[in-house]
Chain A
Amino acid sequence: MNEKTTNDGSVVNNNEAIIRIEDLKRDFIVGSETVHALRGVTFDIKRGEFVAIMGTSGSGKSTMLNILGCLDKPTSGHYYIDGVDAAICSKDQLADIRNKKIGFVFQSYNLLPRTTSIEQVELPLLYNSSINAKERRERAEHALELVGMANRANHTPNQMSGGQQQRIAIARAIVNDPVILLADEATGNLDTRTSYEIMSLFQKLNEQGVTIGFVTHEPDIALFTKRQVMLRDGKIMKDNLVETQSAQAALDALPASSDY
């Protein structure tokens, strides 16, 4: 067994599946037709994993992400996150799970306009009554430091580049110390260099123990993860560990003048 001791002294099992999906199905009724977006998917995500969920358009990866993120509920099957079966939770309980156990990073950053970075990052903690203003500020500052944006705490989105905005969004996703960080095409709006920078940040966070689920359709970005789950027509087509490439190395390998 591969065990380690956490900060609070409790012993956690590194091989423990923090996400367990059992025979998950999701049907959509469109008019008189039933669309089977997911046709029975089963897999686990263990603590500390960096999983790429891949697939073409229509493969069910968006549906998968919505269910993983507790934004949607499966038609049948079970979804355990941190021991809780989200498939049978009420709307408010799902909101609570999203608030405390999940961090989202979106393709279009989804930052609030005219709002400073520190306030963006504080936002998830505002919906958690057990955290007071002082702790909220401290944790937001810490999260900004982790993504290397501490010096941009008082900047608003229109004063920052896309890469910087995505870093703020990542800080917002990790501020609540989530069980899993879910990224939806997080590099989709960025150029190659910035994509590599963001991937390097994800790798760094993963090394520090953050579990990441990374939805993408770009195979070259998926190379920076540790495991690839390939979906096709609502089923898992391939699920294998990959040889992880260092995003930092890829970044260094880019020609110095590629600033177009």
Chain B
Amino acid sequence: MNISNLLKVAWDAILRNKTRTLLTILGVVIGIASVIAMVSIGQSSSQSITEQVSSMGTNMIMVMRANQRRGGVSMGSDNSQSLTISDAERIKNEAKFISYVSPSVSASGQIVNGNNNALGSLQGGSVDLLKIRKFELAAGTNFTDDDVNKYSKVCVIGQTVVKNIFPEDSANVINVVGKDIKFKGIPLKIIGVLESKGSNSMGQDQDDIMIAPYTTVQKRFLGNDYLQMIYCSASSEEVADQAVAEVALLLRENHKLLDYQDDDFEVRTQAEMLSMMNSMTGTLTTLLAAIASISLIVGGIGIMNIMYVTVTERTKEIGLRMAIGARGKDILMQFLIESAILSLIGGIIGIILGLILSYVGTSLMNMPFVVSYTAIAVSFVVCAATGVFFGWYPAKKAANMDPITALRYE
């Protein structure tokens, strides 16, 4: 029997039992749809994380105070006083692969204007902080080096702060430029408003921000000379690793660390953050896909179940086919093709359903919709294999029937 006749025979049999066909493919549809949806949503979330991290600047390098240990007891990183302004200046003056450097300090407290108030934090940085963290100005100007030197009482604020503290000006942010805002009771003059960046991958609102010269924050709010962090920007993404090594070397020198001593600081890049987050979402996606593939296996067993019943139910038909000249091989192929067609139809419907589900899911979660072609190709192959694998046993049973017994079967 040639292949086109086989396909015709199998297809006719499928059409003869539409309800059974629908019920059989349902299991595969659900299995494939959930695999596709899980993988797509997983990839969407990892892409949205990537987009958000790169919106923070892919070249960004963060130098943080290390978690210090004394006699095995962690002292916490907040109490460490290892980063100073001289570290920042040394990086700025000597590092070849670093284009921008900004010290970073922050103070938290009440932000007040008239009757409006909110809890917030004031970030202190150099004039380069906006460039490193990829903030754009929507109105006004950034502060200057002069402001840094004079501890000027000026600040640049984000859109959320405008919304909370100056609700009447939120439609027209230019109006707040030049107004005063009180932070911890000390009035600061607003000289600029930042463009909105939305929330980051951790769900933090990146627009809920107030930036002032770091000297202002240190002298007027914190009363110390230490830095909490140093933000640097590698001159390009390619040299990020060299820049990290260079910064570490400079800091060890500056801190006069001996060879056996551990770093008293940590250097992190955005790329590291990114790969950390991606491995997190990757693990989650794998887990979800693994759960979904269990439903695919259940769907496959459903096919086997139905094919098994079908073979028994159609014993007389098998006997007749053998009597009119079907060889065991023809019967085997007929039932194998039937189950392969069933699972392929299920697979195609499942892929479409899975794409719809992931489209709805990602748009509900405000994530980009990513079509995973690999997942589609893999599910297609898997469901064809499922059909053949789970169809094999029932088909073999049919092929091995004795025509005389099958013909007399009631």
Contacts and interface: CB of A to CB of B under 8 A. Distances in A.
Interface of A: 66, 69, 71-72, 91-92, 95-96, 98-100, 104, 106, 110, 112-115, 119, 123-124, 126-129, 172, 176
B325 A128 contact: yes
5 contacts: A95-B327, A95-B328, A112-B317, A113-B16, A115-B12
Nearest to B316: A110
Given A71-B403, A110-B407, A115-B12, A124 B329 contact: no
Given A92-B329, A95-B322, A100-B325, A126 B9 contact: yes
Interface string B1-45: 110010011001000100000000000000000000000000000
Contacts of B324: 98-99, 104, 123-124, 127, 172
B2 A96 contact: no
Nearest to A92: B327
Given A99-B324, A126-B5, 14 more contacts: A71-B322, A72-B404, A95-B327, A98-B322, A98-B323, A110-B319, A110-B323, A112-B317, A113-B16, A124-B324, A126-B8, A127-B330, A129-B2, A172-B324
Contact of B325 (A66, A99, A106): A99
- Top 6 A-B residue pairs of the complex, sorted by shortest distance between their CB atoms: A99-B325, A124-B324, A95-B327, A127-B325, A114-B16, A110-B320
B326 A127 contact: yes
Given A95-B326, A98-B325, A106-B407, A126 B1 contact: yes
Contacts of B8: 126
A91 B1 CA distance: 15
Contacts of B9: 126
Interface string B296-337: 000000000000000000001101111111111110000000
A66 B12 CA distance: 29
A95 B331 CA distance: 12
A114 B12 CA distance: 10
A127 B1 contact: yes
Contacts of B16: 112-115
Contacts of A106: 320, 407
B407 to A, nearest CB: 7
A128 B1 CA distance: 6
Interface string B375-410: 000000000000000000000000000011001000
A144 B316 CA distance: 23
A128 B327 CA distance: 11
Nearest to B328: A91
Most B CB within 10 A of own CB, among A96, A115, A127, A172:
A127
A235 to B, nearest CB: 22
A49 to B, nearest CB: 22
B404 A71 contact: yes
Nearest to B406: A71
B276 to A, nearest CB: 60
A99 B319 CA distance: 13
Contact of B1 (A72, A104, A129): A129
Most A CB within 10 A of own CB, among B8, B317, B323, B330:
B323
A72 B8 CA distance: 29
Contacts of A113: 16
